[in-house]
Chain A
Amino acid sequence: MKEAEEKELLEEVTGSEYKYGFTSDIEEDRAPNGLNEDIIRFISAKKEEPEWLLEWRLKAYRHWLTLEEPEWANVTYPKVDFQALCYYAAPKKQKEVKSLDEIDPELLKTFEKLGIPLNEQKRLSGVPVAVDAVIDSVSVATTFKETLAEKGIIFCSMSEAIKDHPELVRQYLGKVVPVADNYYAALNSAVFSDGSFCYIPKGVRCPMELSTYFRINAANTGQFERTLIVADESSYVSYLEGCTAPQRDENQLHAAVVEILAMENAEVKYSTVQNWYPGDSEGKGGIYNFVTKRGICAGDNSKISWTQVETGSAVTWKYPSCILKGDNSVGEFYSVAVTNNHQQADTGTKMIHIGKNTKSRIVSKGISAGVSQNSYRGEVKVMKGATNAKNFSQCDSLLMGDKCGAHTFPYINVENSTGQVEHEATTSKIGEDQLFYCNQRGIDTERAVELIVNGFSKEVLNQLPMEFAVEAQKLLAISLEGSVG
Chain B
Amino acid sequence: MLSIKNLQAQIEDKQILKGLNLEVKPGEIHAIMGPNGAGKSTLASVLSGREEYEVTGGSVEFDGKDILELDPHERAGEGLFLAFQYPVEIPGVSTTNFMKAAVNEVRKYRGQEELTAVDFLKMMKEKMKTVDMPQDLINRSLNEGFSGGEKKRNEIFQMAMLEPKLCVLDETDSGLDIDALRIVANGVNQYKSKDNAFIVITHYQRLLDYIVPDFVHVLHDGKIVKSGTKELALELEEKGYDWIKEEVAQ
Residue of B nearest to A456 (CB): B92
Identify which of B48, B77, B93, B109 contacts A451 (C-beta below 8 A): B93
Q: How far is B191's CA from A455's CA once the two chains are assembled, in angstroms?
A: 30
Residues facing B in A418-458 (CB within 8 A) are 431-434, 436-445, 447, 451-452, 454-458
B11 neighbours in A (Cβ, 8 Å): none
Residue of A nearest to B52 (CB): A432
Interface-facing stretch out of B26-34, B81-89, B181-189, B198-206: B81-89
B51 neighbours in A (Cβ, 8 Å): 432, 436
B101 neighbours in A (Cβ, 8 Å): 443, 447, 451
A95 is an interface residue with CB less than 8 A from chain B = no
Residue of A nearest to B49 (CB): A439
Q: Contact at B90–A451, with CB atoms within 8 Å?
A: yes
B65 neighbours in A (Cβ, 8 Å): none
CB distance from B104 to the nearest CB of A (A): 8
Q: Contact at A442–B106, with CB atoms within 8 Å?
A: yes
Q: How far is B76's CA from A442's CA once the two chains are assembled, in angstroms?
A: 5
Q: Contact at B76–A455, with CB atoms within 8 Å?
A: no
B132 is an interface residue with CB less than 8 A from chain A = no
Q: Contact at A3–B87, with CB atoms within 8 Å?
A: no
CB distance from B24 to the nearest CB of A (A): 18
A7 is an interface residue with CB less than 8 A from chain B = yes
Identify which of A7, A441, A456, A459 contacts B98 (C-beta below 8 A): A441
- B92-111 CB contact bits vs A (8 Å, 1 = yes)? 11000110011001100100
Residue of A nearest to B144 (CB): A455
- Judged by DSSP, the binding face of A is helix
Number of residues from B at the complex interface, CB < 8 A: 33
Give the tally of cross-chain contacts (CB within 8 A).
Answer: 80
Q: How far is B83's CA from A441's CA once the two chains are assembled, in angstroms?
A: 10
Residue of B nearest to A365 (CB): B92
B98 neighbours in A (Cβ, 8 Å): 438, 441, 451
Q: How far is B100's CA from A441's CA once the two chains are assembled, in angstroms?
A: 11
CB distance from A425 to the nearest CB of B (A): 15
Residue of A nearest to B98 (CB): A451
B117 neighbours in A (Cβ, 8 Å): 2-3
A431 neighbours in B (Cβ, 8 Å): 88
Q: Contact at B48–A444, with CB atoms within 8 Å?
A: no
B141 is an interface residue with CB less than 8 A from chain A = yes
Q: How far is B81's CA from A452's CA once the two chains are assembled, in angstroms?
A: 21
Q: Contact at B50–A436, with CB atoms within 8 Å?
A: yes
CB contact under 8 A between A456 and B76, given known A441-B158, A447-B101: no
B77 neighbours in A (Cβ, 8 Å): 442
Q: Contact at A444–B105, with CB atoms within 8 Å?
A: yes
B116 is an interface residue with CB less than 8 A from chain A = yes
Residue of B nearest to A452 (CB): B90
Q: Contact at A7–B114, with CB atoms within 8 Å?
A: yes
Q: How far is B106's CA from A437's CA once the two chains are assembled, in angstroms?
A: 14
CB contact under 8 A between A439 and B92, given known A451-B98, A451-B101, A455-B141: no
Q: How far is B49's CA from A445's CA once the two chains are assembled, in angstroms?
A: 13
B91 is an interface residue with CB less than 8 A from chain A = yes
Q: How far is B84's CA from A457's CA once the two chains are assembled, in angstroms?
A: 26
Q: How far is B88's CA from A338's CA once the two chains are assembled, in angstroms?
A: 24
B25 is an interface residue with CB less than 8 A from chain A = no
Q: Contact at A3–B116, with CB atoms within 8 Å?
A: yes
Residues facing A in B112-150 (CB within 8 A) are 114, 116-117, 141
Q: Contact at A454–B48, with CB atoms within 8 Å?
A: no
CB distance from B93 to the nearest CB of A (A): 4
B88 neighbours in A (Cβ, 8 Å): 431, 433-434, 437
Identify which of A432, A434, A447 contacts B90 (C-beta below 8 A): A434
CB distance from A424 to the nearest CB of B (A): 14
CB distance from B183 to the nearest CB of A (A): 22
Q: Contact at B93–A437, with CB atoms within 8 Å?
A: no
A454 neighbours in B (Cβ, 8 Å): 92-93
CB contact under 8 A between A458 and B92, given known A442-B105, A443-B101, A447-B105: yes
B72 is an interface residue with CB less than 8 A from chain A = yes
A440 neighbours in B (Cβ, 8 Å): 48, 72-73, 75-76, 81-82, 84
Q: Contact at A437–B105, with CB atoms within 8 Å?
A: no
CB distance from A438 to the nearest CB of B (A): 8
Instruction: Contacts A451-B93, A451-B98 known; list 6 others, CB within 8 Å.
Output: A3-B114, A438-B90, A441-B105, A442-B109, A451-B90, A451-B101
User: Lowest 8 A-B CB distances belong to which pairs?
Assistant: A455-B92, A455-B93, A439-B72, A442-B106, A442-B76, A441-B102, A458-B92, A442-B105
Q: 22 A–B contact pairs at CB < 8 A?
A: A3-B116, A3-B117, A433-B88, A436-B50, A436-B51, A436-B72, A437-B88, A438-B98, A438-B102, A439-B72, A440-B82, A441-B73, A441-B76, A441-B158, A442-B77, A443-B73, A443-B101, A444-B73, A445-B73, A455-B91, A455-B93, A458-B92
